[in-house]
Amino acid sequence: MRRKVLQDIANTLCQMVVGWRMGDDYERMAQLPDGTLVFDLVDGTVAHSSEGTQELWIAGELSAWLKHRLNVERIEVSGLVAATLEVAYKTDRIKTDRKKIISFDFSCRSTLQTDEARYEGQLLERHAYHQRAAA
């Protein structure tokens, strides 16, 4: 496996999950208690630490992006023993009117595991605001 490419992918996954096309998913996350989302990046699935399996659009997008990027780099998906992304989030650090706006604090860790090595990306992101639609 090519170390620099896999490390770049691991780093990019964390950046994507906190800021890339998350509008509708923020609303779903706002309805869940603070916790951790665990993504299986090969299967395109996600589970919440206390609420179980969830339907988030970004799960499929991350999976599709990962598979495309591996294909471009000529790395077989089957070469990954595991590909996960853990996103812990809290919404209570900044007091807001939750009917109108929610502040998300994210702590992300992605892991790409091969039979040779483990590649991890990490990111802390604060103040990712979500403007809720008027009810």
For the chain, domain boundaries: 3-131
| Predicted TM-score of the model (pTM) | 0.90
Per-residue confidence in pLDDT tens, the chain, 135 aa? 577 999 999 999 999 988 766 768 888 898 999 999 999 999 999 999 999 999 999 999 999 999 999 999 999 999 999 999 999 999 988 888 878 888 889 999 999 999 999 999 999 998 777 777 665
Tell how many helices (H) and how many strands (E) occur in the chain: 3, 6
Nearest Cα neighbor of 49 from 41, 57, 37, 39 is 37
For residues 35 and 127, give the distance between their C-alpha atoms in angstroms, rounded to a whole number: 16
Write out pLDDT tens, residues 84-122. Answer: 999 999 998 888 887 888 888 999 999 999 999 999 999
The span from the CA of 19 to the CA of 121, in Å, is 15
C-alpha to C-alpha distances, 32 to 52, 82, 104, nearest whole angstrom: 11, 26, 12
